[in-house]
Amino acid sequence: MYNSNLLPKCILCGETPPMGIMDGVVLRSKFLCHGCEQKILDLDTCSIDYDAIIEKLKILWVSKM
């Protein structure tokens, strides 16, 4: 969508949401867009995407702040 260093980029999808920082949450200095946040909330542990999303979320907990 947008290509700027001033706008947040989601750690899961890599996209910058249209409303910028207002369209997601910041967790441990990392940005998670609303769309990916909703995917996580709706995610079933039996889903094919579950393991991939969990691996990407590990970035939040293993990276230095």
**Residue 40 Rama label (left phi>0; alpha psi -120 to 50; beta):** alpha
- pLDDT for position 59: 81
The span from the CA of 48 to the CA of 65, in Å, is: 30
**Residue 33 Rama label (left phi>0; alpha psi -120 to 50; beta):** beta
Reading the block at residue 58, the tokens are 């590990």
Q: pLDDT tens across 4-49, in order?
A: 557 899 999 999 999 999 999 998 888 999 999 999 999 999 998 8
The answer, as to whether pTM is greater than 0.85, is no
- pLDDT for position 64: 65
The span from the CA of 62 to the CA of 47, in Å, is: 24
Q: Is the pLDDT of residue 1 over 60?
A: no
